[in-house]
Amino acid sequence: MSTVYKGLDIINEYNDYYEQAYYAWNPFYPLAERDLRFFLGDQWDEKERQKLFDENRNAWTFNLIRKNINLILGYQIQHQLSPVVIPREDSQQQEADDLTDLLLYAFDMGEGYRQISHSFGGSLKTGFNLLTMWMDYRDDPINGDIRFGREPYCGFITDPYFTKLDFSDCAYVLRRKYLFPDQAASLLPGMEKEVFKIHEFGWSRDDKFTWLPYQTQPNGQDYIAYDEFYKQKWENVPTLVDEETGEYMEWEGGNEGLKYFLSQFPQLKLIKRPKRYIECHIILNNNYMKTEINQFGLDEYPFVPLVGIFEPESEFWGYKIQSLVRPMIDPQRESNRRRSQMTDILDSQINSGWIATEDSVVNPRSLFQTSQGKVVWRKQGSDPGSLERLQGAQIPQGMFELQRQFDSDIMSAVGINDASFGMTQNDQESGIMMMLRQGASLVNIQDIMENLRFAQKQASHKAVKMMQNWTPEKIQKIINRKPSQQFYTKDFIKYDISIQEGLLTGTQKQMYFRQLLDIKAAGAPVTGEMLAKAAPIQGKTEYLQQLQQMEQQQSQQAQQAQQVQMAQMDSERQASQAKAISDIALSKERFTRAVANIGLEEERNSKAVDDRASAALDRAKAMKELSEMDDNRLVKYLSIVRMMEEMSRYQEKEIKQEDVAIAAEGQQLGDELVGESNSQQNQQTQQPVQQQLQENLT
């Protein structure tokens, strides 16, 4: 098929898809346009304006919708999150850190965070926006730079039957931009001549995307309609499967090579696996330009939908997707009407009118004056009752209460209240309590915030796939090191990493600093020097020098305190040694006393010997006397003498045992206080004493 016929077929298919999609989405666009008008303050239709003009009344607008929408959008901007790559295994931490660095670079340089907020704001105001992603080759013709953008509700149309917010079941997407010829040519390198020829040929606007501002207000500008026709398709690709391990790979070679490969590896099996790919057809002013497969290296759409209220099972396309403005329109409209009525009543009280008899005043025009201090001159001789002021109507008190109810309904219609704006019920309420109340009041819109987080995660996945087409040299310029080979594998995103959300920081260094603060708050050891080196602050060198001086001073103070503590401990140790010496001296005194007792015992023994000698002498004397006695008296006398000797020996034995016990107690006390070395010396000293005691006992 020639390029001409192929182009005609694509254009015809494009027109057919647009008609099918617009037939379903047609009720949505006027409602989305009305939602946007109410947010901007255009809250009266032409019929209402004409009626107020005829009644000489003003079309007052007190726009409370904008405040509520800006509250939610401001909350998102203040709590915006950045992508963080977490490895599924610790061995892949370096690759995960590299990807985090690359994502932060891409979102920062491509205005990713700003476009996310703009797209989210557009979904709050109109219900439907696209966060677009594309590769800009104007600055880097080899690798390109990732750019983010926003597509408004009126700049695209989708398959009306999609149900998933990742567009995985969306069959096609059509979108249009109106560009200057130079802009269009810059997006189609190598086709500049064709672009300018199409522009010179001219083109009248068609009936597509009629809600775009250029379609309704062209203002004589000559733009080019740049259309993109995306189709999601599937094809069966040959895949080799290892039935033993479950691994698989796509076969990109020929049939001969496939046969040889299967013969060498009999455990492999050939199957057909469905694989998705995206066709993108570029059309300028209804002229086919080119077709790209998997644009920017993506096998999915290069954009992410952001929606307000999304109910895919609804059969009414005007209500299937809604903005947050939609439930606030009715109470806002009634609030404007009541305010207009009350203002008219107040104006009528200033000049409610007169009941006047004809020709009763000098100047009839003075009756229409409403200024302060006006004077109405009656004609001389006119009847006093010929001129009477009409009493103006009073505003019913119920209207004020009804007005407050409408203002409250505007906020409650989207699930927010006064606490969402930081308004407290008590002037003494703490700031922390106010923040908790404000966060709790936004729980009702968590489904919308969840859609936003899901969209941002999808955008991060797409960005990683786009970066896998960069050369190692470009990546090295960004992260200061070459990426690993694993970075370029197709399964790396699916199996090896997980993209999570972290606090929004400009660089990974700022994120690292924030994580250090969290670790320190959890009680982990994080030094001031570690925080200072990681802190993203100006004048870090001077701060580190001052911090080093402070740490040196603290170290010196700690060293001095340690010296004082050591001196105190030394003093306590000396006091303890003095007490130990005193205890040893006391034990030695007791030991000396025990030795003296042993000497006293020897003295007693000597005395006992003397006593026995005296007793023997006395016995000898007694024998002489006994020789002169008879036998009976002699026997009695000998019995008495033996009894006295036994008693003397028993008393002597008890005295020896008491002396030995006293000496043993003194020896034990001395051993405990003196220590092992002194104990050995005491044992050597006491051995002769113990031997002497034993000899005395025996």
Pairing of strands 172-179, 156-158: antiparallel
Q: What share of the chain is helix, strand, coil (3-state, %, to 5)?
A: 60, 15, 25
Contact (Cβ atoms closer than 8 angstroms) between residue 420 and residue 441: yes
CA 351 to chain centre: 62
Residue 19 to residue 209: CA distance in whole angstroms: 11
Which residue type does 154 have? C
Pick the residue with more confidence: 697 or 46? 46
Residue with tokens 């703490």: 430
Residue 110 to residue 108: CA distance in whole angstroms: 6
Cβ-Cβ contacts under 8 Å for 205 (sequence gap 6 or more): 215, 218, 225
Contact (Cβ atoms closer than 8 angstroms) between residue 674 and residue 686: no
Cβ-Cβ contacts under 8 Å for 411 (sequence gap 6 or more): 64, 68, 417, 418, 420
Residue 365 to residue 377: CA distance in whole angstroms: 11
Cβ-Cβ contacts under 8 Å for 519 (sequence gap 6 or more): 526
Pairing of strands 354-356, 268-284: unpaired
Backbone angle region of 256, left / alpha / beta, with phi > 0 → left and psi within -120 to 50 → alpha: alpha
Question: 643 falls in which pLDDT band (50, 70, 90)?
Answer: confident
Cβ-Cβ contacts under 8 Å for 1 (sequence gap 6 or more): 9
Residue 348 to residue 390: CA distance in whole angstroms: 10
Tokens at 270, concatenated: 């050939």
Angle formed by the axes of helices 65-78 and 446-467, to 10°? 50
Q: Taking the domains of the chain in order of start, what are their residue ranges?
A: 1-109+325-352+390-499, 505-536, 572-697
CA 454, 458, 459: angle at the middle one, nearest 5? 120
Indicate the range of 5-9, 188-192, 324-328 predicted with least confidence: 5-9
Pick the residue with more confidence: 541 or 391? 541
Which residue type does 619 have? R
Q: Which of 136-145, 507-516, 670-679 has the largest mean confidence? A: 136-145
Angle formed by the axes of helices 93-109 and 508-521, to 10°? 120
Residue 361 pairs with which residues in a beta bridge? 378
Pick the residue with more confidence: 524 or 188? 188
pLDDT at 430: 53
Residue 338 to residue 341: CA distance in whole angstroms: 5
In this structure, what are the phi and psi dihedrals at residue 250, rounded to the nearest 5 degrees? Answer: -80, 140
Residue 393 pairs with which residues in a beta bridge? none
Angle formed by the axes of helices 28-40 and 329-350, to 10°? 40
Residue 685 has pLDDT above 80, yes or no: no
Residue 235 has pLDDT above 60, yes or no: yes
pLDDT at 71: 87
Q: Which of 146-155, 363-372, 627-636, 649-658 has the largest mean confidence? A: 146-155
Cβ-Cβ contacts under 8 Å for 407 (sequence gap 6 or more): 64, 331, 335
Contact (Cβ atoms closer than 8 angstroms) between residue 318 and residue 118: no
Task: Give this prediction's pTM.
Answer: 0.69
Residue 376 to residue 399: CA distance in whole angstroms: 34
pLDDT at 526: 78
- Dump the DSSP string for 398-439: HHHHHHHHHHHHHHHTTT--GGGGT--SSTT--HHHHHHHHH
Residue 548 has pLDDT above 80, yes or no: no
Work out the burial of residue 186: count CB atoms within 10 Å of its CB; fewer than 13 is exposed, 13-18 middle, 19 or more buried: middle
Residue 534 to residue 325: CA distance in whole angstroms: 44
Which residue in 367, 10, 303, 11 sits closest to 162, CA to CA?
303
Distances (CA, A) of 200 to 194, 220, 222, 283: 10, 15, 10, 16
Contact (Cβ atoms closer than 8 angstroms) between residue 123 and residue 129: yes
Distances (CA, A) of 646 to 596, 640, 650, 651, 652: 28, 10, 6, 9, 10
Cβ-Cβ contacts under 8 Å for 486 (sequence gap 6 or more): 92, 95, 492, 496
Contact (Cβ atoms closer than 8 angstroms) between residue 103 and residue 460: yes
> What's the whole-number mean pLDDT along residues 57-86?
86
Distances (CA, A) of 570 to 472, 555, 577, 673, 676: 65, 22, 10, 21, 23
> What's the whole-number mean pLDDT along residues 616-638?
59
Pick the residue with more confidence: 185 or 395? 185
Residue 175 to residue 156: CA distance in whole angstroms: 4
Residue 632 has pLDDT above 80, yes or no: no
> What's the whole-number mean pLDDT along residues 245-257?
80
> What's the whole-number mean pLDDT along residues 120-139?
93
Pick the residue with more confidence: 554 or 8? 8
Q: Which of 272-281, 489-498, 550-559, 675-684 has the largest mean confidence? A: 272-281
pLDDT at 697: 43
The fraction of the chain above a pLDDT of 70, given in percent, is 71
Residue 244 has pLDDT above 90, yes or no: no
Which residue in 690, 676, 657, 677 sits closest to 591, CA to CA?
690
Per-residue model confidence as pLDDT tens digits over 158-213: 999 999 999 999 999 999 999 999 999 988 988 999 999 998 887 778 889 999 98
Cβ-Cβ contacts under 8 Å for 319 (sequence gap 6 or more): 311
Query: How many other CB atoms sit within 10 Å of the CB of residue 256?
Result: 8
Pick the residue with more confidence: 648 or 405? 405
Contact (Cβ atoms closer than 8 angstroms) between residue 260 and residue 253: no
Pick the residue with more confidence: 603 or 81? 81
Cβ-Cβ contacts under 8 Å for 115 (sequence gap 6 or more): 131, 132, 148, 149, 150
pLDDT at 308: 92
First to last CA, the chain: 137
Residue 403 to residue 336: CA distance in whole angstroms: 9
Residue 458 has pLDDT above 80, yes or no: yes
Contact (Cβ atoms closer than 8 angstroms) between residue 425 and residue 417: no
Residue 594 has pLDDT above 60, yes or no: yes
Residue 160 to residue 22: CA distance in whole angstroms: 9
